[in-house]
């Protein structure tokens, strides 16, 4: 199947725009989770629950890596995937979720926002 250069350029432009939108959302979630995580790390009960469920008390730092074109979009999207895995793991532990709901509702909301965004992305993704 022949695809013209103009069509390829349009597809690449659309893909880059979608990646940039996802990267912006990933950046927002990263900042929210990093802030929430700092609140959670000073709570001895949260640390005990994280330890109980083998969830490491991570330190969040942004990667300084970028693509050849200087864009951090791909790195931000990869970081979002790591956040999604962490958020899913936290939300799968009822005792941890209960403690966060009582003592750190803002942190719990940040964790839930990550999984909500993932579900929304999957629901709006066009089928192949």
Q: Using the 8-state DSSP alphabet, how is residue 69 labeled?
A: T
Q: Using the 8-state DSSP alphabet, how is residue 128 labeled?
A: -
Domain locations in the chain as residue ranges: 20-123
Residues 6+ apart with CB under 8 A from 20: 71, 73
Q: What is the 3-state secondary structure (H, E, C) of 34-55?
A: HHHHHHHHCCHHHHHHHHHCCC
The Cα 124–Cα 96 span in angstroms is 30
Q: How confident is the model at residue 118 (pLDDT cuts 50, 70, 90)?
A: confident
> Tens of pLDDT along 4-36?
999 988 988 888 888 788 888 888 888 888 888
pTM for this entry: 0.71
> Tens of pLDDT along 37-70?
888 888 999 999 989 999 887 766 666 666 566 6
3-class secondary structure, 50: helix
Asked whether residue 112 carries a pLDDT value surpassing 90, the answer given is yes
């Amino acid at each position: 199947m022949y695809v013209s250069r103009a069509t390829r350029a349009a597809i690449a432009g659309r893909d880059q725009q979608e990646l940039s939108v996802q990267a912006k959302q990933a950046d927002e979630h990263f900042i929210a989770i990093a802030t929430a995580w700092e609140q959670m790390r000073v709570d001895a009960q949260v640390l005990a629950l994280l330890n109980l469920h083998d969830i490491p008390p991570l330190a969040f730092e942004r990667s300084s890596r970028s693509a050849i074109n200087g864009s951090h979009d791909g790195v931000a999207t990869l970081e979002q995937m790591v956040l999604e895995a962490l958020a899913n793991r936290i939300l799968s532990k009822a005792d941890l979720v209960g403690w966060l709901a009582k003592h750190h509702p803002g942190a719990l909301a940040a964790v839930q926002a990550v999984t909500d965004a993932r579900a929304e992305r999957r629901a709006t993704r066009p089928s192949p």
